[in-house]
Amino acid sequence: MDFFSELTWTETIKNIIDILIVSYVIYKLLVLIRGTKAVQLLKGIFVLVLTWAISTWLDLYTLKWLMNQMFTIGVIAVVIIFQPELRRALEQLGRGKLFAGRSLAEEDETGRVIGEIIKAINYMSRRKIGALLVFERSTGLMEYTESGIAMDSRVSSELLINIFVPNTPLHDGAVIIREGNIAAAACYLPLSENPFISKELGTRHRAAIGISEVCDAISIVVSEETGQVSLAINGQVVRDIKEESLISKLFEELKPKTRERRLFWKRKGEQNG
């Protein structure tokens, strides 16, 4: 109690600010590595730290010595293992993005991506080209992107159309979109086992619903039989969704600013004109 009684208001506020800053830094670092292999590596490091703590508590000499040797070279190992994430963090820090919110450029990019998606879907729908697109959100989809072909390409309607053209190497499977980029194509997704799904729906629709059941991803399906566009979210599917409703739902779920929505509709009106 003596420690707390000796604290002044100035020191208390300073300690609170210190804790908040450290918490925010840790939060941003966790956001940075979300959906990457670094998450699994962090789990491995946590197991090692837990093992070291138990060996110290139980005074297991040999195990404790082994853990100490591992921690001695741990700093170098961490730098090597997390090199891609550290490089990415330093690049974002240099651009001023690491501790900033979504910039205007990122909002513009969201509108551009939605525009390209809608253009590709309209093209494939008219020609009855089957397609399955998945938007990654807060839950990482690395497990599923690794099942396909890595691309890391900027989203464009032309690229999406070429991917899903029948009898091409990548047309069978899902395209996963992460932060405005096509992370991978020809990805395998879990199929929904919901017995209440209409028997009319095929594998693509069941995969779209399945991925939305296990995480917060959004899926868009183009039927190759009817050309209808469907949207799957939270384990539910909206069949034959209209273009305006799809655009509004994508903006709502991907949370762009109202200004960007107005710019999108303005650009769409100019294209139609």
Contact 237, 205 (CB under 8 A): yes
DSSP string of the chain, one letter each residue:
-HHHHT--HHHHHHHHHHHHHHHHHHHHHHHHHTTSTHHHHHHHHHHHHHHHHHHHHTT-HHHHHHHHHHHHTHHHHHHHHTHHHHHHHHHHHHHT-TTS---HHHHHHHHHHHHHHHHHHHHHHHTT--EEEEE--SS--HHHHTTSEEEEEE--HHHHHHHHSTTSTTSSSEEEEETTEEEEEEE--PPP--TTS-TT--HHHHHHHHHHHHSS-EEEEE-TTT--EEEEETTEEETT--HHHHHHHHHHHH---HHHHHHHHHHHHHHH-
Backbone angles phi and psi of 132, in degrees to 5: -140, 115
In the structure, what pLDDT confidence band is assigned to residue 4 with cuts at 50, 70 and 90?
Answer: low
Give CA separation, 54 vs 45, 49, 64, in Å.
14, 9, 9
In the structure, what pLDDT confidence band is assigned to residue 156 with cuts at 50, 70 and 90?
Answer: very high
Q: Quick: pLDDT tens for 16-67.
A: 888 888 888 777 767 666 655 566 667 777 787 888 888 888 888 888 788 7
User: 């868009």: which residue's tokens?
Assistant: 220
Q: What per-residue confidence (pLDDT) applies to 220?
A: 96
Residues forming a β-bridge with 229? 222
Q: Which residue has the higher pLDDT, 123 or 92?
A: 123
Q: Which residue has the higher pLDDT, 72 or 101?
A: 72
**Which residue ranges form the domains of the chain, and what is each CATH number?**
2-95 (no CATH), 104-272 (3.40.1700.10)
Q: Quick: pLDDT tens for 222-269.
A: 999 999 999 999 889 999 999 999 998 988 887 654 444 445 555 555
pTM, two decimal places: 0.59
Average pLDDT over residues 79-92: 66
Q: What per-residue confidence (pLDDT) applies to 48?
A: 79
In the structure, what pLDDT confidence band is assigned to residue 131 with cuts at 50, 70 and 90?
Answer: very high
- In our burial notation (b when 16+ CB lie closer than 10 A, e otherwise), range 263-272 reads bbeeeeeeee
Q: What per-residue confidence (pLDDT) applies to 106?
A: 60
